[in-house]
């Protein structure tokens, strides 16, 4: 059983004391089909005063949820907005089938496919009658929406595999829903905003999101990086890395740069400086000890590389240079001395 609502204003619906939903103004040409409930359905629509708060808070105004829910086997689900809505709408098809009409095209969604309808865009969507979709959905807006422009208005497929992390993403959605369900205190709203950014990033940067789950030992780039990490305290060369993965140096440079945007040895230097930062922060090792431990020629070579990567000198080096300046200035009775770090050839 389902109904059509037209020309109505600010309809608030409370179903079984659990499902709370508020529709916006439905204009003459808009039409919504509301089914007689989907077993297991849930949704939350934030009050307008909360959205006002979200739009002004320095954290939540970046990205925030206004509507969120889950419809399982949503038979007869149908929605048409001839002028769109002022939020972006994310529909994540968990299983089943449905369709979205947007920008003059019909996009058919099936299991593990996502579509984000940009705000203020006319659209229509609905469930397949024979195999109705189960969907996670949310409306969102904020100043940082343009960061995700590349995934708006297109169908995105998320392949199910050993490293797909589908359940991790569903749990993140549940995290947003349950925190919103607990109330609208500012800590909850801020936390949900961070979760939303991560959720969207998991779709935009799907390769990065997945690769953490499973490092493929036969992938030459990941194998190269693992070899580098295992040899941060050894003086390895490009040839050593290439031999470890069974590639020529020139071929490895090409592949590695395509995947990481850096040549292998530049990436290796970044890893060494990353390790140096850890030593500086969490150990009592001196600059000289760190330099030799990480395979640099001497402290000056290390400091030069550190300065190039981090745009500042390592801790203690600046202090040592100040002491040197003071000693030299005092000895020679001069006011200023410029010390230039020169790499040792």
User: Residue 149 and residue 144: Cα distance in Å, rounded?
Assistant: 10
- The answer on pLDDT for 229 being more than 60 is yes
- The answer on pLDDT for 340 being more than 80 is no
- The answer on pLDDT for 298 being more than 50 is yes
- The torsion of the CA quartet 311, 62, 183, 52, rounded to 10 degrees, works out to 140
- The answer on pLDDT for 237 being more than 70 is yes
Count of C-beta atoms within a 10 Å radius of residue 100: 20
The pLDDT of residue 302 is: 86
* Boundary of a domain, candidates 160, 194, 211: 211
Retrieve residue 167's tokens: 């359940």
* Boundary of a domain, candidates 161, 178, 211: 211
Task: Give me the number of domains the chain comprises.
Answer: 2
Identify whether residues 191 and 104 lie together within a single domain: yes
The pLDDT of residue 169 is: 82
Identify whether residues 7 and 90 lie together within a single domain: yes
The pLDDT of residue 238 is: 94
More confident residue, 213 or 113: 113
Residue 337 falls within a domain, yes or no?
no
- The answer on pLDDT for 200 being more than 90 is yes
| Range name among 77-86, 136-145, 314-323 with the lowest pLDDT average | 314-323
* Boundary of a domain, candidates 155, 184, 211: 211
Among 117-121, 175-179, 341-345, top mean pLDDT goes to 117-121
Residue 342 falls within a domain, yes or no?
no
The pLDDT of residue 322 is: 45
User: Residue 249 and residue 65: Cα distance in Å, rounded?
Assistant: 49
- The answer on pLDDT for 311 being more than 90 is no
| Range name among 56-65, 95-104, 214-223, 240-249 with the lowest pLDDT average | 214-223
> Domain with 110 in it: what CATH number?
2.60.120.280
Identify whether residues 189 and 276 lie together within a single domain: no
Those residues whose C-beta lies under 8 Å from the C-beta of residue 271, and which sit 6 or more positions away, are: 225, 228, 229, 232
- The answer on pLDDT for 79 being more than 70 is yes
The pLDDT of residue 211 is: 67
Range of the domain at 93: 2-211
Residue 343 falls within a domain, yes or no?
no
Residue 339 falls within a domain, yes or no?
no
Retrieve residue 117's tokens: 């309808």
Identify whether residues 168 and 290 lie together within a single domain: no
Identify whether residues 110 and 238 lie together within a single domain: no
> Domain with 324 in it: what CATH number?
1.10.10.60
Residue 345 falls within a domain, yes or no?
no
pLDDT per residue as tens digits for the range 10-48: 333 433 333 344 333 333 344 444 445 567 788 898 988
Identify whether residues 262 and 168 lie together within a single domain: no
- Mean pLDDT score of the chain: 79
Identify whether residues 205 and 89 lie together within a single domain: yes
The pLDDT of residue 158 is: 83
Rounded to two decimals, the pTM is 0.60
Those residues whose C-beta lies under 8 Å from the C-beta of residue 263, and which sit 6 or more positions away, are: 253, 256, 257
Average pLDDT of 275-286?
Answer: 83
- Decide if 51 contacts 113 (C-beta within 8 A): no
More confident residue, 337 or 159: 159
User: Residue 200 and residue 189: Cα distance in Å, rounded?
Assistant: 17
User: Residue 264 and residue 241: Cα distance in Å, rounded?
Assistant: 8
């Amino acid at each position: 059983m389902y109904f059509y609502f037209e020309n109505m204003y600010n309809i608030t619906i409370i179903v079984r004391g659990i499902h709370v939903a508020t529709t916006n103004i439905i204009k003459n040409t808009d039409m919504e089909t509301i089914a007689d409930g989907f077993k297991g359905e849930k949704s939350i629509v934030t009050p307008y005063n909360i959205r006002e708060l979200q739009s002004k808070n320095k954290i939540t105004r970046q990205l925030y949820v206004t509507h969120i829910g889950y419809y399982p086997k949503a038979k007869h689900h149908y929605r048409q907005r001839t002028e769109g809505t002022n939020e972006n709408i994310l529909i994540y098809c968990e299983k089943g089938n449905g369709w979205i009409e947007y920008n003059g095209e019909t996009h058919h969604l099936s299991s593990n496919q996502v579509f984000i309808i940009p705000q203020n865009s006319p659209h229509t969507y609905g469930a397949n009658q024979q195999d109705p979709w189960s969907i996670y959905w949310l409306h969102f807006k904020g100043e940082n929406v343009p960061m995700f422009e590349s995934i708006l208005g297109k169908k995105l497929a998320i392949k199910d595999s050993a490293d797909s992390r589908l359940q991790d993403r569903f749990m993140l959605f549940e995290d947003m829903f349950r925190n919103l369900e607990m109330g609208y205190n500012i800590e909850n709203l801020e936390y949900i905003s961070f979760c939303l950014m991560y959720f969207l990033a998991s779709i935009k940067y799907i390769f990065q999101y997945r690769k953490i789950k499973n490092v493929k030992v036969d992938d030459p780039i990941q194998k190269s990086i693992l070899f580098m990490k295992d040899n941060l305290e050894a003086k390895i060369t490009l040839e050593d890395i290439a031999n470890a993965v069974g590639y020529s140096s020139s071929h490895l440079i090409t592949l590695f740069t395509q995947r990481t945007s850096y040549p292998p040895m530049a990436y290796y230097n970044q890893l060494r400086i990353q390790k140096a930062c850890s030593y500086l922060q969490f150990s009592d090792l001196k600059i000289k000890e760190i330099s030799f431990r990480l395979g640099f020629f001497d402290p000056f070579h290390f400091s030069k590389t550190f300065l190039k990567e981090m745009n500042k000198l390592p801790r203690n080096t600046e202090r040592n240079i100040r002491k040197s300046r003071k000693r030299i200035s005092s000895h020679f009775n001069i006011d200023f001395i410029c010390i230039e770090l020169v790499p040792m050839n």
